[in-house]
Each structure stands twice: as structure tokens, then as C-alpha cells.
Structure 1
């Protein structure tokens, strides 16, 4: 925390003014951009980011095969996140648009609606009918805006129930199912992945996501994306999930450094798809690991070289990953950590050397005792692989610290669970407090008399006036949301909105004095309404006088 001088603020404002002026000049000078060129960039980004999770030989599809395209997300593409990030693209191509463009025949069915759980029996029946007798069923499912959006956290990692029901019903009449996932984060897949023959994770594919899906499914582009997160078997497999739904006063990140693959790999948890995982229409072979030195001093670079060969029949790209593992450390550390990666493009039979250089930070951890990054002397494993769970090559290097006498935090006695995370079934609050260095605040509900401007509209229901304001705000938003594509986002955003935000959005009508009066009213203090009225509009008047 700190303060800003008026000169500091002037510098920022001048940069904004300069930026606005330069853009106006560009408009005046008639600067344009190539819409098709930018769309090509969007398509290539979507193609490169999609991850092939399963392929039992069903992909790529032949144009001669008959297909059923099922799922509203195939026609109404989810190309971006929900909320204020929404933009209007210059072009927008869904998967069915892409099929229509090339004249590829298909039979389409919605399968579900995009609101709530999406279940509608008549739509499922039509989808099942469309799937019968087709060579391949392309089933587009995932997370809708109602399940994943700005303004509120996901309550679980499941997909809408109608999507899972749809998969199971389709599999009863056709086993040649390829699932195309549209979601911005991991989902709980369940057991249906054992029955479908292919899964392509398209994520949120952007404006050209439909074209990208077509090119990937039909083999015009070879999938090369890798997962940037772990897909767990079950949500509860992650120890941190026990502490996610906390509040109302604090949320305790008890998991510490054990986030994502750093937890799953350290805890030896079975996962559905590991970090860094992704298939291709070809196969790659790793060999010939070379490390530039067996021992280095902190500060010296370390170059790791290895060979990747395309041993399949089609051209493709592989993202090779380099992990570092501290063999023995005083402070608890993850089993391994990603420290570098490179994407290499290879023709069939072609091989290339891949070179990744590590600096000292690759071996360091943040030492709270010295308030700086620190390397502890010792051996480190150099691990090269296709994912965090598919290590192909292994070497070792010894690193000598430039600060060997630095005090190293040791929590073995006070917080032993962090040193044996594989056997931990909980993270006791006392051990987290030892790590955090302070006692946790009691997470009891707020009471009338202690509410502040930072409290949310939902938290303030503990007082009669707070309950009135909650019902008023939610009621108004529900009316507005009737015409919205994502009413859940609007409603939940209001519930979690701090009262100070109301003042910020009031265009100066609700001044600081009015906000203080509003808080007094929430707490049942006398004179709050009078203070609210006296301050109403004052900030706007003062701004107008200055002008």
C-alpha cells in the first residue's frame, strides 16, 4: 500500500490523453485493417489452442461420411466469456456456418436450450432421431454462460445436466460419437468419456472457432494444443475444494503452492487428463537428452537440449515441456514445476533438436525470511515430457547457492501436512495459521451494527433495511434480466456487489456523505436517512462548480 502524488496521476492521465489523441489521428488519416487477415489470425489461434483429449481412430472425419451435428453450441457458438468482456466481432463463424460454407451435408438438432440446466425432452428426442444411422455424431456440449461467467464463481465443475443426459441417450443409438467441448475451464467429465470415440476440447474458440473446429475435425489442421490445467476425475479430488466455499469474512487459500498439477502430481492423485496433455493425429518420439553442465553455480545459465522426432504419417506439432524437481529441500515444494516449453513443427520422419535455457529462477523458491528468491544448494532433476504425467527423458544437475547461509523457513513441526501432501486429507487451520503467520478471523455471519460500505448487497440482508434493499435491487435486476441472454450473471453480480459500487456508478449523485448515510441506515443508526439526503447530489454539484 502507498500514496500517489498529483504528479504521478498527471503522468498517467497524460499517457491516456496521448493514446486517445494518437487514435483519433489514425481515424482521421483513414487507417484501416484487413478484416479477413485478422479473422485468419483468430482461426489459427483457435486451431492451435484446441486440445484433442481422445481419439479411438474416429478422427479425422472423411467428407464422405454422413454426420449428425447435435448441440446448440454448434450453431450458437460460445466464442468468448460472459459479462463485460463481450465484444462484437467483425465476423462470427459457428461450426454449422463452416459446414454450410463448404457445402458439407449434415443433419442438425439442438439437443438442449442454453438457459439453466438446458433440459427439454422433445429436443433430446429429436437429437436421438438425428443420430440414428449416421457414420459419425458430432456432439457439441460444454458450459453455457449461465454456468461460467463474470460476476460470480462457479459452484461446481459439472456441465449442465441436460448435456450429460444427451450424451447417454445418443450413445444408446450410435457409438460413433465425437464430443466437442466448449468451455473456458475444466469440467467434470464422469464416465461417458469411456464410451465416446473422440473428444476435442475447443475451449472458447473466438470469432473463427467454428472454422477451426471444422479444420481440426476434418484433418485440414492437426491438433497440437496442450492442457493448461488439470481435468480432475472429481471436483472433491482436489484438497483445496474443501476450503473454496468459505466466507463471508475471509476465504482461506489453505492449499498454498499446491494449485493444479502442483497438487495432483505431488499428491499422486488419479486425474482424468493431466496438465500439459494433448493428442495429435501423429506420434512423437523423444531422445538424446543433453544438459550443458552436470553442476552449476546459481546465476549460471543451464541449457537443456533434446531431440523430438515425428514417427507418424502426417505432419504435426509437438509442445515439449521441461519440468524441474528439487530432489531434497528444507522447505516443502511441489513434486515438479514447469520451467520451459517449446513448440516444434515436424514433417513425417523429420526430427529436430529442441533447446531450452534455464536461469536461476528455475531452481528458486520465494524465501519469506530474506524476502527474496533463494536457491538451496543440491541436486535438481531435469524432466522432459509430453505432459506432467508423461515424462520421456530425465537428467540431473547440481546447483550451488550464492547464498548458502540464508535462513530457510522450516514448518515441519508446525505444519507437517504440507510436507506430506499425498497423505493429507485436510489442512488444519492451526497449520495454515503457522504458515500464514497470523490467526484466522472467525468466519461468522455479519450482524447489524458492523456493516460497512465494502459489504455486499447480499451480506447486508441481516438488517431490515438491508433486506429491503436486497429485494429491491434483485427485483429490479430480474426485470432487466428478462431480455438478457445471461440473467444469472446480472442477478448474481448484484448480490455480490459492494455498496460502495452503487456510489461509484451513480455518476456523482451518491456522494461519500450519502454513502455513509446509507451505511448508517443498513446498521439501523439514527440520522442515517437525513445524512443520505444531505449528501445526495453534492459530489456532482461540486464537480460542476469546478468545471
Structure 2
């Protein structure tokens, strides 16, 4: 398909029509020119292709497909190859079903544990989120099927998500909320990017030219098609003008007519419509060129893959006394509402009509003598004394009790946010009652986001299964009985209480406005900076073995801010079980400077080790790993100074550190005016000579010129005052000694010196 030639042969009406969908799931065809329509479908962790009545909320049935673990769990694998394999499987299913673009993954940051859609998002950390999203994208697109990276941007809550204005300062936007998308766009190269419903700093994402064009395309090099979330278009003409190519779903004839009318009235150039039409057609052409009409996929094989993936994603939060793994062929009680009916996915547009399900009871039968008790209701928070009594009896009769609890569907979903982090009260009571009669207790959690655990100190073992996909029961059984060792690590912090979260006072905002007042201090960045105790830290995860870290090495001790640093560390399996370890590499500024997090994740590597085996893991740390976003230059900047590179088992468990000294090849500009402080002015090359007359006058006025007569504390006070004193304040302090003409001359000389330095 020659896209440009096709567009040149189209009428204005045909081009305008391409800028909105034909229905809920298809782009428009141009039959006159042989352009077919293309189908798109949800979702990130499984194909939701609807074969009957169309909707975007998972209400109506869709075809049967394999449901993989949701993003909240996938990110805990810290495994790019695994995400690629999941994406690859999804791409195969899309090819077999004639789907051109899969609507995912979602790279929104977990600002608050209460966000109802957190199960669909990867992490609180933008680097990890971007890496996972990029790997997912590459996997899907390796099968010649497109992806739609969503929801761009600052869509971090469900409350009033279609109208809320997310007010985010520029540095926070760049370092946290856009960085996740930036990594996914640059590394994954998605075919499409989906805008969010909300406004960002006053402008709807669907018509935000700065986000859609200046940043996404101009800075990040995105060359694909932009598409609205379903119903996110506020003003179709304004959207197309800003860089929004495709409005979904169908807009009706009035949407197309509005665009045609705007061109004819001169409110938008026809070339802008051409541009959008070309981008839509380019995506359709990619689909056509990669279409395999003979494609089939192995549904049973994908189910096995889902089980293997789920094992990699689960996190062993606690294992006192090495209670796990359980011995085979012992009597074990499986108790709880999610034993036979596991909650393995979230509600809304990503809800999959699973091809099959494996529950823990069924899967554990090959490992042990299992007795079952439901314990409480799984759909609502309703006490049932009879169910509770049976559960207590089962716990007493067994050697070990395994409790399957978590959040029911009604507690978290697309469309609304949680009000608290608690489990249903009936489940908490179940845990307490079982603990009264049985000390060997394992809690398995099925949830899409962190929960409070007031019972955590009393329970010896806790396994976080998240929403583990249709094979979750088999994966849980495999880990409980030691077929494999847990290797997942938390991609988000579990706070002790909701009130500890940095967004607590500003989530979900007031009316149609939410302030991101915590700034860059999201997740572990905040807990580290404030020294707040948490339940389980970011990156935490135990194993059935132990690992030692040794010999962290950097390939240089000094470097420039234009160079890439290589860090390597030796990891040894010091236990008796073969297992995988995830090593996290953080960068920690070790110098005074702008306010920054204590440390930030900048790399990770995963390794499989036999008992006693040692391997060396390496990561590359480019200049961006040491940078922050400096609004004064609207760019990333590396402060000169010392930085510690940390090799860690979690954000709270640093095993090795090494230091590098970085020289900055770029200096920040100094804006010179009468209110510039002495300290800032002194950063300008040659400023000392220019400022000497003013400094001497101030010294005479305040100290009589006799520095020896001043005590040490007085000299320190004067130095501090001078450092932070605006140049114009000298007039007030020195009176007639400093005239306006001298101040003017000094300011002018400093401006000239700054201009020379920047040249």
C-alpha cells in the first residue's frame, strides 16, 4: 500500500472519516480505494475480542482466550524475556483471530495503592514500568501485531478519570509520570499510543499538543498513530490539530463533518488532516503486510505458559522458620474463598473470558492430602458462622493450614477507586480464628494492589500471588510444595497503613482537580526520604535459598556526564536449592545538591543459580541514570559530584556499594538580575572579580573592615548572609556607598560574563 498516494487520491470527506472509528472495534474502510478496515481489541494480559454486542467495559461476552497474570504480577518477575514471551503468545492469538492492534500495555504509575486499576499497571517506579512495557510491546509486535501503549498521561486514578485535571509540576511529570512512557516508546516502539481521558495541567490529553506532538514525537521520536481512549475525545477538531490521529470509537457523522467544516472554514489546514489519515493508514498497512491468515495457536501450550509465568511473578513476602516449602504427602488444609474459585484477573475492559481455569485444590492433589473449607463468602464481606466453624475444624485437623484470601471483584476494578486498603472483615476474622488453633499458617493473597496486614506478625508465611491468571492455582501449588522456588520481587511498596502513602492527603483530589503535591517522591522514593517504616519494601522477595553478593565493580572511578558506566557484581547461591535471584542496581547521589530521592532504581538483572554456583551480573548505566530533569534548561542534567552505585536485594536491603565521581560537561545557566543572590552570581566564571567591590563595601559596612575583630560565628553568619543576599539588597545595607549606577554596572557585567560562559 502506497500510503501517500492513497491519501492524495482521497476526498477530504474520506480523509476525515479515517480519523474516527467505524464502530467500537474497527477502523473505517475506504472501499473505493480498496482500503480495508482493521480490528483492535483489549487487553494487556489476554485477548478480549468481542463476538457479539460491543462494549468497552467487559460487560458482554468475548471469545475464549488465555488469561495471563495481570501487569501488577508480571512486573514482579523483573524479567524482560518473560514479558516478551507473554507478548509473543498474545500476538499469536491476535494473528489467529484477525486482530491488528492489541490495546495495551498500560504504563501508568502507581501513585496510590487505592487506584482501582492498579492491577493493570506495572509499578510505582518509572524505570521498571518502562522496561516491562517495552518488553511486552516487543513480544506482541514480533508477531506482526500492533500494540497501543496506554493511558498517556497522568491517568493515576479512576475517580472522575474522564474529567479530572491532574496538576503535576514539570519535573515530577518528566521524572515519574512521563518517564514510564518514554522508556516504553523508545525501547518498545509501539505502533500506537492511546491518550488518557483526563486533563493534564488544564488541557485534555486528547488535544494536548505538548504531550501528543512536542514530547511524544518531537523528543521521543514516536512515528506511529495516536488514538483516544474510548470516548476520551473532547473536541475532535482540536484533537486532530494537536496530533491526535484516531478518535475511538465511532464519532458518528457529526464528528467527520466537523473536521471537514473546520478545513473549509480555514480553522485547520487540510495538510493536518492528511497527516492524521496517513498515520492511520500506515498502521492499517502494517497490519496487512504482517497478516497471517493461516495462523493458529496452541491454547493448551499457552495455558502451560501461563502457569510458568505465574510462578515467576509470585512474591514470597515472609517465611519464618522455613515453613515453606511444605512437605509432600502430609495433611494440609486449604481454607478460604479463593481455593476453588481463585480471583485471577481484574474487572473492566481487560476482563478475559478464560479458556480454562486451574484452582489450587485441583493442582495440589498431586502433592498432598488436602482437606478443604471455604471459611467465608468470597463475593462480599458477609460473616457466615457455619463456614467459619468448618474452617477452624479443618485447620485443627491438618498439619498446616493454607489460607487463600484477598480482594473480591467488588473491592477493586476499573471505574472506581478503593476507599481503604483492608481485606474484607470476614477474611480478617477467618485468619484470626485459624491462628487460634493452628500455628503453621500460610496466607496466599489474591489481590491487584497492596493490602494492610494487621495479622502479618502472627503468620509465619505469606505468598503474594497477585491476580495470577487462569493457571494461578497450579502455580501456587508448585511453589507451596517446592516444585520451584519463589523468585518474584515487589514492584511496589506495601505500606503499613494507607495514611503512610505520600499521596494520601491529595488522592483522589477535590472535584475535577487533583494536585500531585508529593512531587517526585512517589513510592519508595518517599518512604526512603522520610524514613517511614513499611510493611514490605519495594523490590522485596524471598526465596527457598539464600544469595551472597560480592565484588561490586565499576569500570571506572571517574567519568564525564556523557559516558556510560558498567557495573558488575558477583552473586552466589549459598543455599541448597536451585533458584533465581533478581539483583537491583540503584544510583544514590553522594553530594549536596538539588533535592533528590535517596536512591533510584536504574538497572536490574535476573540470574538462575544452582547451589554453590557463582555468576557475574552486569548492567549499563548511561548518563540518564545519574540525571534529574532540570526545568531551567528544560532538559536532563547530571550534577557534578560523587554517586554511589548500589547492588541490592531490595530497596531496603543494599548488599554492595561503589562510588564514581562524575564531571559535568554542562553548566546550568544563571539568570542575572537585581534579585540574583551573591551565591548564584558566584557560579558565573569571572564573577569573583566583578563582585569584589560590592563584597568589600558590605564587609566595611557590617564589620568595619576588621575581619580579625570578628568572632568565628559572626564571620560564618556574614558569609551565609552574603551568599543568600540579592544584589539589590546591597543598596539598602550600604546606603550611599552603593548607588544604582554601580548596581547596574555589576548586573550588566555579570550578564556579559554569563553570556560568554554559555557561548
- RMSD of the TM alignment (CA)? 1.8
After superposition, the C-alpha distances for 1:356-376 in whole angstroms (9 at most, x for unaligned) are 110000000011111111111
1:13: Cα distance to partner?
3.1
Whether 1:47 and 2:314 are equivalent positions in the alignment is: no
Q: How many residues align?
A: 404
CA gap 1:156/1:287 in 2 versus in 1, 3 angstroms: same
Separation in 2 of the partners of 1:72 and 1:92?
15
Match of 1:127 among 383, 391, 406: 391
Q: What corresponds to 2:652 in structure 1? A: 389
Separation in 1 of the partners of 2:415 and 2:484?
36
Whether 1:199 and 2:466 are equivalent positions in the alignment is: no
1:240: Cα distance to partner?
2.3
- State the SS of the aligned residue for 1:306: strand
1:402: Cα distance to partner?
2.0
Match of 2:520 among 254, 257, 260: 257
Whether 1:185 and 2:452 are equivalent positions in the alignment is: no
Separation in 2 of the partners of 1:407 and 1:224?
49
1:19: Cα distance to partner?
5.9
TM-score, structure 2 as length reference: 0.52
Q: What corresponds to 1:172 in structure 2? A: 436
CA gap 1:115/1:309 in 2 versus in 1, 3 angstroms: same
Q: What corresponds to 2:575 in structure 1? A: 312
Separation in 2 of the partners of 1:228 and 1:58?
24
CA gap 1:379/1:213 in 2 versus in 1, 3 angstroms: same
Match of 1:163 among 419, 422, 427: 427
CA gap 1:53/1:407 in 2 versus in 1, 3 angstroms: farther
1:119: Cα distance to partner?
2.6
Q: What corresponds to 2:16 in structure 1? A: none
- State the SS of the aligned residue for 1:113: coil
Moved more, 82-91 or 169-178: 82-91
Q: What corresponds to 2:12 in structure 1? A: none
After superposition, the C-alpha distances for 1:209-250 in whole angstroms (9 at most, x for unaligned) are 111101000000110000111111111122321221421131
Separation in 2 of the partners of 1:123 and 1:144?
17
Q: What corresponds to 1:439 in structure 2? A: none
Match of 2:490 among 207, 227, 234: 227
The 8 Å contact of residues 187 and 231 in structure 1, kept in 2 or not, is answered as: yes
Q: What corresponds to 2:160 in structure 1? A: none
Separation in 2 of the partners of 1:366 and 1:221?
42
Separation in 1 of the partners of 2:639 and 2:292?
53
The 8 Å contact of residues 330 and 368 in structure 2, kept in 1 or not, is answered as: no
Match of 1:349 among 612, 625, 628: 612
The 8 Å contact of residues 66 and 105 in structure 1, kept in 2 or not, is answered as: yes
Q: What corresponds to 1:244 in structure 2? A: 507
After superposition, the C-alpha distances for 1:305-364 in whole angstroms (9 at most, x for unaligned) are 111000101101110111111122432100110100101110000001111110000000
Separation in 2 of the partners of 1:26 and 1:301?
41
Moved more, 109-118 or 156-165: 109-118
Q: What corresponds to 2:280 in structure 1? A: 13
Match of 1:59 among 320, 324, 337: 324
Match of 2:636 among 363, 367, 373: 373
After superposition, the C-alpha distances for 1:463-489 in whole angstroms (9 at most, x for unaligned) are xxxxxxxxxxxxxxxxxxxxxxxxxxx
Which runs of 5 or more residues in structure 1 are unaligned?
A: 414-547
Separation in 2 of the partners of 1:369 and 1:13?
37
Q: What corresponds to 1:426 in structure 2? A: none
Q: What corresponds to 2:77 in structure 1? A: none
Match of 1:87 among 342, 346, 352: 352
The 8 Å contact of residues 323 and 338 in structure 1, kept in 2 or not, is answered as: yes
Match of 1:75 among 319, 340, 364: 340
Match of 1:327 among 578, 590, 594: 590
Match of 1:303 among 566, 570, 575: 566
- State the SS of the aligned residue for 1:193: coil
Q: What corresponds to 2:694 in structure 1? A: none
After superposition, the C-alpha distances for 1:395-436 in whole angstroms (9 at most, x for unaligned) are 11111112123459xxxx9xxxxxxxxxxxxxxxxxxxxxxx
CA gap 1:310/1:183 in 2 versus in 1, 3 angstroms: same
Separation in 2 of the partners of 1:368 and 1:72?
51
TM-score, structure 1 as length reference: 0.71
Moved more, 220-229 or 88-97: 88-97
Separation in 1 of the partners of 2:348 and 2:497?
28
- State the SS of the aligned residue for 2:513: coil
1:116: Cα distance to partner?
3.0
The 8 Å contact of residues 82 and 150 in structure 1, kept in 2 or not, is answered as: yes
After superposition, the C-alpha distances for 1:235-287 in whole angstroms (9 at most, x for unaligned) are 11223212214211311111011110000011111111111010000000011
1:90: Cα distance to partner?
2.2
1:63: Cα distance to partner?
1.7
Separation in 2 of the partners of 1:202 and 1:22?
39
After superposition, the C-alpha distances for 1:61-94 in whole angstroms (9 at most, x for unaligned) are 1122101111111211111111121111222211
Separation in 1 of the partners of 2:498 and 2:531?
16
The 8 Å contact of residues 332 and 368 in structure 2, kept in 1 or not, is answered as: no
Structure 1 runs (4+) deviating above 3 angstroms are 15-23, 405-408
The 8 Å contact of residues 377 and 404 in structure 1, kept in 2 or not, is answered as: no
The 8 Å contact of residues 329 and 369 in structure 2, kept in 1 or not, is answered as: no
Whether 1:278 and 2:541 are equivalent positions in the alignment is: yes
After superposition, the C-alpha distances for 1:445-465 in whole angstroms (9 at most, x for unaligned) are xxxxxxxxxxxxxxxxxxxxx
The 8 Å contact of residues 624 and 636 in structure 2, kept in 1 or not, is answered as: yes
Separation in 1 of the partners of 2:314 and 2:273?
47
Q: Considering only CA atoms, is the larger Rg found in Structure 1 or Structure 2?
A: 2
CA gap 1:78/1:383 in 2 versus in 1, 3 angstroms: same
